[in-house]
């Protein structure tokens, strides 16, 4: 089914709006095939021109790039976002799919810093956050703590547990 969405995109004669763009970026992330990566990169060019201030589109782009394993490009978008929200941090830390945030725990996807075993980067982002983390962020950070199990991880894990118990 996702392939059909890309087929339809190939026949479009107009530029996708922000809603269509989010759907297409998610389809590309889901497939992560060579074709999806090519189309995803093409869509990123439209984002840079038209949607620099749209966090939903930018967060979805980060999610897609993390699914592709293109961490550097995801970081570039992340650091270009002026008003980061919990979804932005979550997309970088774990590859969180914010569109499914409220449907049980299906929102936690496979790629991101945690799945790429870059736990220190999760901690760096967590400490950099200038907004109050939500439960999803805490879950992601605690997963990173479990993955690293060093002094820093234990301290951060203890802080989170003390704040939330």
- Cα of first residue to Cα of last residue in the chain, in angstroms, is 43
Is the overall model pTM greater than 0.75, yes or no? no
Which helix (DSSP H) or strand (DSSP E) does residue 161 occupy? helix 151-164
For CA atoms 15, 17, 23, 28, give the dihedral sign: positive
Q: According to the model, what pLDDT value does residue 39 have?
A: 96
pLDDT in tens, 81-123: 999 998 899 888 876 444 344 333 333 333 478 777 889 999 9
Which pLDDT tens digit goes with each residue over 9-47? Answer: 999 998 888 889 999 999 999 999 999 999 999 999 888
Q: What is the mean pLDDT of the chain?
A: 85
Q: ∠ at Cα 14 (1, 66), nearest 5°?
A: 50
Two tokens, residue 144: 């990173």
d(CA 154, CA 149): 6
Q: What is the pLDDT of residues 73-83, one digit of tens each?
A: 999 999 999 99
Fold of the domain built from segment(s) 2-164: 1.25.40
């Amino acid at each position: 089914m996702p392939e059909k969405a890309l087929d339809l995109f190939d026949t479009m004669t107009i530029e996708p709006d922000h809603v269509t763009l989010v759907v297409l970026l998610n389809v590309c992330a889901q497939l992560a095939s060579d074709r999806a990566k090519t189309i995803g990169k093409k869509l990123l060019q439209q984002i840079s021109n038209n949607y620099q201030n749209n966090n939903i589109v930018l967060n979805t782009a980060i999610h897609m790039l993390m699914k592709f394993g293109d961490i550097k490009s995801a970081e570039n978008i992340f650091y270009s976002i002026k008003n980061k929200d919990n979804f932005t941090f979550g997309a970088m830390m774990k590859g969180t799919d914010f569109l499914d945030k409220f449907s049980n725990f299906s929102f936690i996807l496979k790629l991101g810093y945690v799945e790429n075993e870059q736990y220190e980067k999760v901690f760096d982002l967590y400490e950099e956050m200038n907004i109050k983390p939500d439960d999803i962020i805490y879950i992601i950070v605690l997963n990173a703590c479990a993955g690293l199990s060093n002094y820093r991880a234990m301290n951060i894990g203890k802080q989170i547990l003390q704040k939330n118990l």
